[in-house]
Amino acid sequence: MNLRLKLLIFCLLVTGASRARGDAPSVPTTERLRFVVRLVEERAGTRTTLGETHVSGPNGTDFSVTLRDARYRLKADFVTDRVAENRLNFRVDLETRRAAGRSPRDLPLYEEDTQYHDLNLELLDTVLLLPFGDGGDDRLTMEIVPERLPAAPANAPLDIQLPKIAPGGVFNVTARHIPHRFAVIAELLQNGATVARTSTENRFRTPSPMVFGNGLPSVSLNIEDVTGPPSERSVTISFDATTPDGRPLARNWSGIGQAGSTLSYDLPDGLQLKLAIMPVGN
Amino acid sequence: MNCPTPEQLSAFFDGETADRASVERHLPGCAACRLALADLRDLRAALAARDDRPNGAETEQALVQLRRKLEPSPASPKTRFAPGYVGALAGLLFLAFGLGWFFGRGTPPIPPTVKNTDAPTRPDRSDGDFNLARFDGGGRATVRIVKRTDVPATGGTAR
């Protein structure tokens, strides 16, 4: 048996062995985080965990927590970003709705509240959400603790585990992973002619100013939502436009369009605003 | 010269183009390229002003993609393939798919997982009449951070 034949047989044996072991080509890995979400009752110094959910996913995993019964509903959307090795940024949109009786025409009345919080925390810090405020001996709290997990394949899906189910289904958690950074090109036209263009990077659910230049209106753009698979992303936006002397041209105007397409808005004073938005990264 | 491509303009902006002189000659006569260059400058300034951006290069890449989508690309010349080339191309594609199938078998797509580790047991309290009203003193919901040193022991959960 000559050397070439021996080499060929060796290669075939190695290939066969690796297939038999099910060896996979190396897949890129990414760090993951786990968010431990606990619903806790505190009464007279005693803590009882009513429900617990673990959400894990790559950096930038978002989750929503809902707490509800017949009279009360809380929805908290957590947009999370790992901004440094041990630092996280949480942007929290909080909505509550509480039954507040009946109207003279016997229609249900509700007390509604919306809040926005921008929190910077470290890993293993706890975000404490108090659905009914701080007072009372019998207190309900929602604790969210971010933890670091070992790296996993980049294509590993989000994972939700339910170590303890809350009674009556009052508490549930959903999660998703969508782009959090967007490249934006904005163009301002007057009577059909371009007068200025600008480009910025915007963060998800963070209103960001876009300045066209001296003497021209400025725009505050908020990317509110992203839906659809990566190849067909739709982006929901809202924006305010203001003249240099503070006169509002547009207040909370909004729209939805496919990533990369142009959204056009006719503003007062013969102005037109064109916006094109593209997710950065995933 | 014709307008530089977005990549050439970006390279010019970064001082990485070999043919810098021709871009410099082109710019005074081309408002579109000056605007595109101003975009790059604005973007770089915006990136420099923020410290929590993981990768500015990705944003620039996205901007290049965005510009490509916004500006219709010039029509490309038609290419004719001789039948022999078509056969060879088909063969290559067949070989590529075959190799892809052979080596890709080890990494099937991973389905999403939701595990109910509490499923075998009922929740530990009667939930038929559970409501949140007994916690509701009419206060407004609040959110705050508790530093890790202040967190009381919760027990029962592995960290």
**pLDDT, tens digit (0-9, with 9 covering 90-100), for A1-13:** 566 666 556 555 5
Q: Tokens 């037109």 sit at which residue? A: A272
DSSP code, position A223: E
Q: For residue A243, give both structure tokens.
A: 């003249």
| Distance in Å, alpha carbon of B73 to nearest chain A alpha carbon | 15
Q: Which residue has the higher pLDDT, B41 or A40?
A: A40
Residue recorded with tokens 């509550």: A96
The rounded distance, in Å, linking the Cα atoms of A2 and A41 is 77
pLDDT at site A154? 84
Is B19 a residue whose pLDDT tops 60? yes
CB pair distance less than 8 Å for B69 and A260: yes
Residue of B156, B39, B99, B8 lying closest to A47 (CA atoms) = B156
Report the C-alpha gap between B40 and B2 in whole angstroms.
19
Of A76, A80, A82, A118, which is closest to residue A97 (Cα–Cα)?
A: A76
In this model, does residue B121 exceed pLDDT 90?
no
* Region B8-36 average pLDDT: 80
Looking at residue B25, its pLDDT comes to: 84
- Statement: residue A251 has pLDDT above 60: yes
Distance CA A282, CA A60 (A): 10
The nearest CA of chain A is from the CA of B123 a distance in Å of: 6
In the prediction, which pLDDT does A174 show?
A: 95
The residue ranking higher by pLDDT, B20 or A246, is: A246
> Each residue of A101-116: pLDDT tens digit?
999 999 999 999 999 9
Overall average pLDDT of the A77-90 stretch: 94
Per-residue pLDDT tens for A48-59?
999 999 999 999
Q: How far is B139 from chain A (nearest CA, A)?
A: 5
Mutate to test the interface with A, among B59, B131, B151 (most CBs of A within 10 A): B59
Indicate yes or no: CB of A199 within 8 angstroms of CB of B43: yes
Instruction: Name the token pair of A23.
Output: 């060896």
Nearest CA in chain A to B45: A200
What's the pLDDT at B63?
A: 80
Task: Supply the pLDDT for residue A161.
Answer: 94
Work out the percent of chain B whose per-residue pLDDT is above 90: 4
pLDDT score of B22: 84
In eight-state DSSP terms, residue A204 is B
Nearest to A66, CA basis, from A93, A27, A28, A90: A93
Q: How far is CA A103 from CA A23, A70, A99, A112, B50, in A?
A: 67, 18, 11, 16, 50
Say if residues B33 and B26 touch (Cβ distance below 8 Å): yes
Nearest by CB to A133, from B67, B106, B139: name it. B139
User: Average pLDDT of B118-141?
Assistant: 66
How far is the alpha carbon of A123 from chain B, nearest alpha carbon, in Å? 8
Contact A177, A59 (CB under 8 A): no
Region A83-96 average pLDDT: 94
CB-CB under 8 Å, A167 with B43: no
Question: What residue type is B64 in one-letter code?
Answer: V
State yes or no: pLDDT of A173 exceeds 50.
yes
Q: Over 80: is that where the pLDDT of B126 sits?
A: no
**Max mean pLDDT range (A213-227, B55-69, B93-107):** A213-227
Q: What is the DSSP code (8-state) at residue A215?
A: T
The answer to whether B8 and B26 have CB atoms below 8 angstroms apart is no
**Average pLDDT, rounded, for chain A:** 89
Residues making up chain B, counted from first to last: 159
pLDDT at position B99: 77
pLDDT reading at A20 higher than 60: no
The rounded Cα B14 to chain-centroid distance in angstroms is: 22
- Where residue B52 falls among pLDDT bands split at 50, 70, 90? very low
Contact B154 A153 (CB under 8 A): no
Instruction: Specify the pTM.
Output: 0.65
Separation of alpha carbons B106 and B24, rounded Å: 52
- pLDDT at residue A2 in the model: 64
**Which is more confidently placed, A75 or B159?**
A75
Q: Please say if the pLDDT value at position B47 is more than 70.
A: no
Which of the four pLDDT bands, split at 50, 70 and 90, describes residue A243?
very high
Nearest CB partner across the interface for B157, out of A52, A92, A167: A52
pLDDT at A255 over 90: yes
Least confident of A3-12, A40-49, A94-103: A3-12
Cross-chain Cβ contact B133/A72 below 8 Å: yes
* Optimal mutation site among B110, B130, B136, interface A, most CBs of chain A within 10 A: B136
Contact B135 A132 (CB under 8 A): yes
Cβ atoms within 10 Å, residue B125: 12
For an interface test with B, which of A118, A122, A126, A182 has the most B Cβ atoms less than 10 Å from its Cβ?
Answer: A126
DSSP codes joined into one string, A111-154: EEEEEEEEEEEETT-EEEEETT-S--SEEEEEEEEEEEEEEEET
B100 secondary structure, DSSP code: H
Interface A–B counts its CB contacts (< 8 A) at 218
- Tell me: the pLDDT tens digits for A138-171? 789 999 999 999 999 988 999 999 999 988 888 8
- Say how far apart CA A164 and CA A53 lie, in whole Å: 7
pLDDT-derived band at B154, boundaries 50, 70, 90: very low
Chain B residues in contact with A96 (beta carbon < 8 A): 140-141
Across the range B78-83, mean pLDDT stands at 52
Residues of A in contact with B151 (CB under 8 A): 126, 145
C-beta of residue A252 within 8 angstroms of C-beta of residue A237: no
CA–CA distance, A102 with A112 (Å, rounded to integer): 15
Q: Which residue has the higher pLDDT, B133 or A218?
A: A218
| Residues A177-196: b if buried by 16+ CB within 10 A, e if exposed | ebbbbbbbbbbbbeeeeeeb
A59 versus B119: the higher-pLDDT residue is A59
User: Are A59 and A33 a contacting pair, CB within 8 Å?
Assistant: yes
**Amino acid residing at A198:** T
Q: Which of B52, B62, B145 sits opposite A127 (nearest CB)?
A: B145
Q: Predicted ipTM?
A: 0.75
Q: Which of A188, A193, A191 is nearest to A221 (CA)?
A: A188
Contact (CB, 8 A) for A78 and A89: no
Residues in Cβ contact with A28 at an 8 Å cutoff, skipping those fewer than 6 apart: A153, A154
* Coil, strand or helix at B116: coil
